[in-house]
Structure 1
Amino acid sequence: MRLKTIAAFCAAAALSVGGAWLSAGWVEARSGEVVTSTLIDGQHDWTTVTTDGLLVALGGEAPDEATRFRVVSAVGRVIDPDRIVDNMDVKAREQIKAPRFSVEMLRNGEGISLIGLIPPTGDGKGIAEQLADVANNTPVTDLLETASYPVPENWEAALAYSIKALRDLERSKISVSADLVEITAISDSPESKRRIESQLARSVPNGVRLALSISAPRPVITPFTLRFTLDAEGNASFDACSADTEDAKSRILRAASSVGQIEKPECAIGLGVPSPNWAKAVEVAMSGLKDMGGGSLTFSDADITLVALDTTSQGTFDRVVGEVDAALPEVFSMHAVLPEKVVVDGTGAEAAVEFVATRSPEGLVQLRGRLTDDGIEQIVGSFARAQFGSDKVYLATRDDPNLPESWPVRVLAALEALATLESGSAVVQKDYVEIRGLSGDKNASDTISRTLADKLGDAENFDVNVRYDEMLDTTLNIPTPEECVSRINSILSAAKITFEPSSAEITADTKRTIDRIAEIAKQCERVKMEIGGYTDSQGREEMNSALSQQRADSVRAALQSRRVLTSNITAKGYGEADPIADNDTADGREANRRIEFKLLTDARAAATDDASGDTEATTEAETETPSE
């Protein structure tokens, strides 16, 4: 009996254990199915589910902390939260990129608008405050936002440059970023356009790219003039060129290139063309000039003057003139001249039948040669004094009643042309006028040709030989040689260039000084200057001389690295010579360690070149410490 009881008890225990095991397995499987289904429905299929008895372990990488929390919460709604084991990882958050700082500035007659994202301005004035005085009682719309992120390199320089540009441009749009400034503006004239482009290009900060789009209104050209010359060797040139469209300009320049060798042809586009067939008429006339072997071609509105070379045969002249006249479009009329050989005396001497006016670089004007009578002499003298100044004109002419009737008109036209030049000469003969000289205006030849074509009428055999000199161009605001050196030395007196001790390496805190000098040097590239290096008297004289030369060379190299043309800049080390302070004191020695810029005359520049050529490199090892 007792054995049966024990057997029954064991059987019951086995059944209990087996039932518990089966129940746990079913709960485990069921839990896994329910949790997996819930995660799939919630689009969290990236989560792994592992069951261990009543425990449910969740794994995988959640995209963020919020998603991980949502997964745990969703699973906790279908099983007891105490059974959840959270083994999930959270994906590392990507570092937020700094935003791109930029500003759009718009200025017109209605005011100034600012929009963009900028760094905090700190204690300084905001952009709107800096431009308040420019608005002229018009509103400044400030839509700028700020973000506290590191300020990009060149941002402050680019922004300061753009604010200054907006001050100078009344109708403009400026887009600013740390590495690029885009300026779109409208100027008052082509001359103003060139001046603005030059000033903006010269002052752009280092490390900042500049994109310019400055437009100017199309000028009204009157008379609508084209002046083209071709010599016997096939060399061609424009004294003046006008076109009404880009297509007409291209046709004219192609025709000119096919006629002769021409360098950098240019043609102004303007209003006032007398006929839509302007380009066709120019092409026909240029082709005729080539067939004739050379000469000059002048268009003044619809009137054309073709002047052959004095070596052209009569038969060739007659044939070409007939062909060109027949091929010209309607409206255009041609006057052709086969001139006698022109001999220019240019002195106004007794034997020469001519009038000569010369203008010196100092502005002094001498009038010599022949005029019709005393009355014409008074008119010419008054006109010259009005053009050049009463105290600038010297009149020494003689009367000749046999001069042609058009002589006074030709003289006055020549003086008007000469007044547009900085220096030069004008020669007037019966059938010929010659203008030569220098000008700071790129369009001087156009202006003179237009004046002569308008005033001389059919007798348009003239020659214009004017050379442009950018140093005389007032629109470029180029300083004089003396101003160049003075401005650079003013910068050095305020913040000197310093070097590492006993070294030619320029210190980092001198960068801004070099930058400012480079800005001026770019405007003075034709000025011959010398960079002089000086030391104090400590150390051996030979070593100080070598160190000062190395430092002067370092400054020249630093300017060259800032895109300064240094072909006219020499570097010379003077060592401990020419002290400006007492070498017995620390302050005095500091003052004597300096860089100076000097203006070189042609003779001194040549002497400097010779001296630098004789310098020999020192190879002997030095043991003494040189001046700092």
Structure 2
Amino acid sequence: MRLRSIRLRPWLAALRQPAGAAPQGAAPHRRPSSRAIASAAAFVLAAGLGLLAAIWAVRAVESQSIAAVGATLSASGHDWAGVAGDGLLITLSGTAPTEAARFRALTLAGAEVGAGRLIDAMAVADPADLAPPDFSIEILRNDDGISLIGLVPEGPAREALITDLGGLAGQGGVTDMMEAADYPVPPGWDRAVGFGIAALQSLPRSKISIAADRVAITAITDSAAEKARIETDLARRAPKGLVLKLDISAPRPVIAPFTLRFLVDESGARFDACSAESEASRDRILSAAAQAGVTRKTLCTIGLGVPTPDWSAAVAMGLAALHDLGAGSITFSDADISLIADDSVAQADFDRVVGEMESNLPAVFALRAVLTPKPDSADAVTAAPEFTASLSATGQVALRGRIGDALSRDAVANFARARFGTAQVHAATRLDPEMPRGWSLAVLAALEALGELHHGEASVTPGLIRISGTSDSPGAAANVARLLSDKLGDSRDYQLDIRYDEALDPLLGLPTPAECVARINAALVQDKITFDPGSANIATAAAGTLDRIAALMKDCTDVAMEVGGHTDSQGREEMNLALSEDRASAVIAALMARRILTGSLLARGYGETLPVADNETEAGREANRRIEFRLVGPDAGDSAANDDAAIDDAAGDDAAGEGEAIGGTSAAADGSDGATPEPSVAAAPPTPDTPRPKPRPEGAAGAGQP
């Protein structure tokens, strides 16, 4: 207790001091110096500046992060995503179309700022609220095959499309890079795809872009005439309401060798082949030909590969020279010129004309001129050796005459078998070691030229090669002249007598759309397509009929046709309607299995709504159970509109209890003479009193279609 009181005394004494008085023994009080005040102020200012700098840095990082994340999401197509910042934290908002899109946006943003700084405030749209995608296909076709890119509806139509294109692709095959989405097929999709596939058949080098309401075609053709024909044909066959955009080019062909052959004989002046590098060059050549005596219309091909800009000037000079001689031939093969004057030309005239040409031709050209010698008695006694090859209209080839040695004879026979077919060639040649030099080369060239004809003959003698016959191509004579000039140069003369027959042209000989339908329905009248009772399974007995229809379809694959199924009135309307469409689809599937392109075919069921006979009799019901082909699109005329109004789409889930045969219209049921009726192209249009089935359930309308 004592010690504690002693310690408290100084404290108590201090309490007794007056206010402001210094304690005893303490130093006097001093005011703070100005240096201390400045230091404190500097400290406070530094702290404030540091705080401001930190705030500025955070805001700068925030702005840069928002900009970086926004740019990345926008570049990746995620424009739906919103980006906001709160200090170093980045908030992503918005409604993602799918969960995958939300996750992708989150991943892209995390790559920019780090996943730890992200706040996910995004929502995912209800799939029921999403708009259906824009279905489209881009088809690329070239020598390497066919490629498919795009988005198509989920379903069997995708596999059917690839199967259809398999026959066109050849060895290159079909490359499928399409994706599929489970959404309803948009209106017009099937007809647009069918039109695009039909167009692809005639365009081996093309790109076709298909959407439900439009088709864009970019292609390359071999000539301006083919370009015009294809454009006209596509515009004519385009379905009504479909937007068609065409970009078809016709680049000039490369002509090698660049060939022109002109001759004057007892038949008059004419071209066997004519080539020019431009319209101006062609006009100059044709003008010179007219002055030389040409009166018929001449086709002169404009192409690439001219050996010199002086081509037309040299040709005009050559034509005038031959006209001056009066008879003979002149051949231009690139820069080589072969002038062969007839034996009726006088030597003095020949020397004068050749001298003028040699003095005035452009330096790039080389002229070889020959005056055919007049035959003498010795030549008349000894027959010249000859080789002949004849090609019949049925494809049979007969080889006769002389060949120099056994090795050459084998080479000629093997070449003929490879070109015309082993079973088609009959060789009856003999060996003659005295044949002139280059004989085998001339024989092989003549055989190759004969292959350009539909039927005809090729003959080879020491001084001349003759090719005569009929071709299914208007350019066959020019092709043969170019071939012989390329193979033989100016070493041999040749004569061509080639006639073009339009009836043999595979393009001009194709049936019209109306003829296609008439022929197919005639085949159905002769033999109906039968089915198992109450089902869409084609009976085995109908295989022959389907084979005949497939053979007819080979020339009609680009014709838009409807395959219509019809039933009798037994069973419920809805069931009959569904069964009739399933049977029409089965017919298309059977044709596809026979390697027929079916992109232009549309399956449609009419059920019992379009009878052609009385359903009260068995014969009438048999007549009403049938399959009919009908034109659709622009080729159908007014009948298409009438038949389109015939029936609303309808369906059922079960098969009808009807008979088992469906096919082309058979005998009438009224007990008449039983004569087979003419095949019908279009069914009779309905009336307001025609019974109409109930609407089909959604999604069933396209069932069974390829």
Alignment TM-score, normalising by the size of structure 1: 0.51
Classify the secondary structure of the residue corresponding to 1:165: helix
Q: Provide the rounded CA distance (Å) in 1 between the counterparts of 2:362 and 2:494.
A: 25
2:467 pairs, out of 435, 448, 454, with 435
Is the Cα contact below 8 Å between 1:131 and 1:167 reproduced in 2?
no
Which of 385, 410, 414 pairs up with 2:417? 385
Hey, what does 1:310 align to over in structure 2? 343
Aligned partners of 1:296 and 1:136: how far apart in 2? 52
Kindly indicate whether residue 318 of structure 2 is the aligned counterpart of residue 285 of structure 1: yes
Within the alignment, does 1:171 sit opposite 2:203 as a pair?
no
Question: For residues 441 and 449 of structure 1, what CA distance do their matches in structure 2 show?
Answer: 14
2:456 corresponds to: 424
What amino acid sits opposite 2:400 in the alignment?
R
Equivalences for residues 79-158 of structure 1 within 5 A: 137=176
Cα distance between partner residues in 2 of 1:281 and 1:425:
33
Instruction: List aligned pairs for 1:327-406, cutoff 5 A.
Output: 327-340=360-373, 351=383, 353-406=385-438
Relative to structure 1, the CA distance from residue 591 to residue 164 in structure 2 (aligned partners, 3 Å threshold; closer, same or farther) is: farther
Relative distance call for 1:172 and 1:378 in structure 2 (3 A) is: closer
2:264 alignment counterpart: 230
Q: Partner residue of 1:117? A: none
Q: Secondary structure at the match of 1:402?
A: coil
- Correspondence for 1:549: none
Cα distance in 1 between the residues matched to 2:218 and 2:449 = 35
State whether residues 431 and 459 of structure 1, in contact with CA within 8 Å, keep that contact through their aligned partners in structure 2.
no
Shift of the 365–493 alpha-carbon distance from structure 1 to 2, 3 Å rule, reads closer
Structure 2 unaligned segments of length 5 or more: list them. 1-134, 142-146, 166-173, 529-551, 560-611, 614-634, 639-664, 681-706
Verify the 8 A CA contact 1:227 1:241 in the aligned structure 2. yes
AA aligned opposite 2:678? I
Q: What is the alpha-carbon distance in structure 2 between the residues aligned to residue 215 and residue 360 of structure 1?
A: 38
Q: Is 1:232–1:293's contact at 8 Å kept on the other side of the alignment?
A: no
Query: For residue 677 of structure 2, what is the aligned residue in structure 1?
Result: 594
Give the match for residue 248 of structure 1. 281
> Cα gap change, 1:454/1:185 in structure 2, threshold over 3 Å: closer, same or farther?
closer
1:200 maps to: 233
Question: What residue is the counterpart of 2:47 in the other structure?
Answer: none
Partner of 1:275: 308
- For 1:211 and 1:467, how far apart are their aligned partners in 2? 38
What runs of 5+ residues in structure 1 fail to find an aligned partner?
Answer: 1-102, 115-122, 344-348, 496-515, 524-534, 537-558, 563-579, 598-628
- Alpha-carbon distance in structure 2 between the residues aligned to 1:375 and 1:489: 54
Name the CA distance, whole Å, in 1 between partners of 2:279 and 2:322: 24
How far apart in 2 are the matches of 1:310 and 1:560? 62
Alignment root-mean-square deviation, CA: 5.6
Residue type at the aligned position of 2:448: E
Match in the other structure for 1:410: 442
Q: Would the aligned equivalents of 1:224 and 1:273 in 2 still touch at CA under 8 Å?
A: yes
Q: 1: CA distance between counterparts of 2:273 and 2:247?
A: 25
What's 1:449 paired with?
481
Per-residue CA deviation, residues 537-589 of structure 1 (Å, 9 max, x unaligned), is xxxxxxxxxxxxxxxxxxxxxx9999xxxxxxxxxxxxxxxxx9766x43x65
Secondary structure class of the residue paired with 1:383: helix
**Whole-Å separation in 2 of the counterparts to 1:521 and 1:331:** 51
Q: Partners in 2 of 1:359 and 1:272 — Cα distance?
A: 33
1:215 is matched with which residue? 249
Measured in 1, the distance between the counterparts of 2:260 and 2:179 equals 47
Q: Is the 8 A contact 2:136 2:212 kept in 1?
A: no
Measure the CA separation in 2 of the matches of 1:471 and 1:202.
Answer: 26
Aligned to 2:30: none
Map of 1:83 onto structure 2: none
The alpha carbon displacement at 1:466 in A equals 1.8
Distance apart, 1:342 and its partner CA: 8.8
Cα displacement (A) at 1:414: 0.9
Counterpart for residue 296 of structure 1:
329
Aligned partners of 2:227 and 2:249 also within 8 Å? no
The count of corresponding residues between Structure 1 and Structure 2 is 404
Measured at CA, do residues 202 and 357 of structure 1 come closer, stay the same or move farther in structure 2, by a change above 3 Å? farther
- The amino acid that maps onto 2:331 is T
AA partner of residue 338 (structure 1): L
Structure 1 pair 260/491, CA: closer, same or farther in 2 (3 Å)? farther
Q: Which amino acid aligns with 2:353?
A: V
**Per-residue deviation, 1:278:** 1.5
Q: Could you list the per-position Cα deviations for residues 235-265 of structure 1 after superposition, in whole angstroms to 9, with x for gaps in the alignment?
A: 323x222222333233223322332224332
Residue 424 of structure 1 and its aligned partner are, at CA, apart by 1.0
Shift, 1:462, TM fit: 0.7
Please state whether the residue corresponding to 1:594 is helix, strand or coil: coil
Q: Does 1:464 align with 2:496?
A: yes
The structure having more radius of gyration, on CA atoms, is 2
Does structure 2 retain, via aligned residues, the 8 Å contact 1:157–1:205?
A: no
> Are the equivalent residues in 2 in contact too, given 1:162–1:176 (CA < 8 A)?
no
Work out the percentage of aligned pairs sharing the same amino acid: 38
**3-state SS of the aligned residue for 1:454?**
helix
CA distance in 2, matches of 1:486, 1:342: 59
Query: In the alignment, is the contact (CA less than 8 A) between 2:446 and 2:465 conserved in 1?
Result: yes
Q: TM-score with structure 2 length normalisation?
A: 0.46
- Deviation string 1:500-542 (CA, Å, 9 cap, x unpaired) is xxxxxxxxxxxxxxxx99x97999xxxxxxxxxxx99xxxxxx
Structure 1 residue 287: deviation in Å? Answer: 1.5
Query: 1:581 and 1:455, CA in 2 relative to 1: closer, same or farther beyond 3 A?
Result: closer
SS where residue 235 of structure 1 aligns?
Answer: strand
Range 307-316 or range 322-331, more displaced = 307-316
> Does structure 2 retain, via aligned residues, the 8 Å contact 1:422–1:439?
yes
CA distance in 1, matches of 2:313, 2:503: 38
- Matched to 1:437, the amino acid is G
2:519, 2:360 → 1: CA distance? Answer: 62
Query: Shift of residue 211 of structure 1?
Result: 9.6
Of stretches 274-283 and 206-215 in structure 1, the one that deviates more from structure 2 is 206-215
Question: Which secondary structure does the structure 1 equivalent of 2:453 belong to?
Answer: coil
Q: Does 1 or 2 have the higher relative contact order (CA < 8 Å, sep 6+)?
A: 2
Quick one: structure 1 residues 113 and 420, their matched pair in 2 at CA, closer, same or farther if it must change by over 3 Å?
Answer: same
